[in-house]
Amino acid sequence: MTDVFSSLIGQDAAVVAMRHYVQNPVHAYLFSGPVGSGLSDVATMFAAALQCENHGCGTCEECRLALEGKDPDIHVAQRAGVSWRIEELREAERISRRRPLGRGYQIVIIEDVELTTTGTAPSAAALLKSLEEPPTRTIFLLTAESLPEELVTIESRCVEVRLQGLNEETLTDMLVKEGASLDAARTAAAGANGNLRRARVLVKDAGLTERIETWRHVPDQLDGTPAACARVVKLITSALDEAIAPLVALQEDELERRIQTAKDMGQRSVSNRKDIEAQFKREQRRFRIDEVRFGLTALTAVYRDRLAKNLEGTDAQSQYRVGACLRAMEAVALANRRLSSNLDETLLLSDLMLSLMEF
């Protein structure tokens, strides 16, 4: 079967479920999955299937408009900060009360709903209120990379669709089929964290191998001084800036294509350019987080190798180094967890390097 879901790789169970759900939709769906599982893309595909008379054929005008972000009845809610504010969710609810202009549904997409539980004024209650009494022709599509306990009530109001991160083998096969060499595909897949779009960016990134080495040499550069920590953090953040450049170029090309398509259709500009640019910024932020996670994984591997080597020794120094490696791995794991809190990456890396300096 060829439809809007056909391009989803490694999500067979979710695709079967979504093809079933669009036949008789309910008022709210929650798409959950790890970083890199493509939650935003899946929500867009599902929205297209909801608007399509054939439940997501992928070729009709309704599917095209939805997939290109041009359907006026599909609204992607925006947040200004790192957490959802109550007024932002109230605005989404106000839009949900509109009658759809077309023959389909009024669809409201709210991404990263786990961020309704954070910040100085958690807004989960405002979201719950929206879900409790929606109009009959309104459907909410929510996404969440994690489901904290505070979201249990919201989760109970939705039909959940669980997505999986793609494994390295699947990503490697996809990249090879698209023309990448096997070695380049394997390296990109290892750094993609299950994200196909990220893998496609990394496979064209000539600096990927060098960035891996930058992370692997971090322990050797920490000489016990704060100045060394600052140098390492600066080196890593510069590498992050370089890493995101191919994605920015890809986004610029995509925007140019949309602008040209709009001109060919007689439009002066892309109607939803502001939303597209906001989506690109969110993607850039997620890409940087994925890049840091990848680096932390490489750093963990270094300490794991050192741990294995020192476990072979029986002298006191080897035993001390075993403990130091374990504490270093714990510090890296803590930094990985803190990434989910939207902490400034420079501050996070500085804290990590100061911790590792002790080991």
* DSSP secondary structure of 186-240: HHHHHHSTT-HHHHHHHTT-TTHHHHHHHHHTHHHH--SSHHHHHHHHHHHHHHH
- For residue 279, is pLDDT > 80? no
Token pair of 351 as six digits: 């804290």
Q: Which of 120, 110, 167 is nearest to 144 (CA)?
A: 110
Q: Which residue has the higher pLDDT, 131 or 207?
A: 131
Token pair of 100 as six digits: 């759809």
**What average pLDDT does the structure give for the chain?**
88
DSSP 9-27: -S-HHHHHHHHHHTTS--S
**Do 100 and 137 form a contact (C-beta atoms < 8 A)?**
yes
- Give 239's contacts (C-beta < 8 A, 6+ positions apart): 207, 210, 211, 214
What is the reported pLDDT for 45? 96
DSSP 59-125: SSHHHHHHHTT--TTEEE---SSSS--HHHHHHHHHHHTSPPSSSS-EEEEE--GGGGS-SSS--HH
* Dist. CA 2–CA 358, nearest whole Å: 56
Hey, what's the torsion of the CAs at 150, 105, 111, 16, to 10 degrees?
90
Measured N-to-C along each axis, helices 208-216 and 182-191 cross at an angle, to the nearest 10 degrees, of 50
Hey, what's the torsion of the CAs at 32, 38, 43, 49, to 10 degrees?
-120
Q: Which residue has the higher pLDDT, 50 or 259?
A: 50
What is the reported pLDDT for 272? 66
* Least confidently predicted of 32-41, 144-153, 183-192: 32-41
**Do 35 and 145 form a contact (C-beta atoms < 8 A)?**
yes
Q: What element of type H or E holds 349?
A: helix 345-356
Q: What is the pLDDT of residues 145-177, one digit of tens each?
A: 888 888 999 999 999 999 988 888 988 998 998
- For residue 53, is pLDDT > 90? yes
- For residue 286, is pLDDT > 70? yes
Q: Which residue has the higher pLDDT, 192 or 56?
A: 56
Q: Of all residues in the chain, what percent carry a pLDDT higher than 90?
A: 50
What's the CATH code, domain 12-162? 3.40.50.300
Q: Which residue has the higher pLDDT, 255 or 109?
A: 109
What is the reported pLDDT for 342? 67
Q: Tell me the three state secondary structure of residue 165.
A: coil
Average pLDDT over residues 61-84: 88
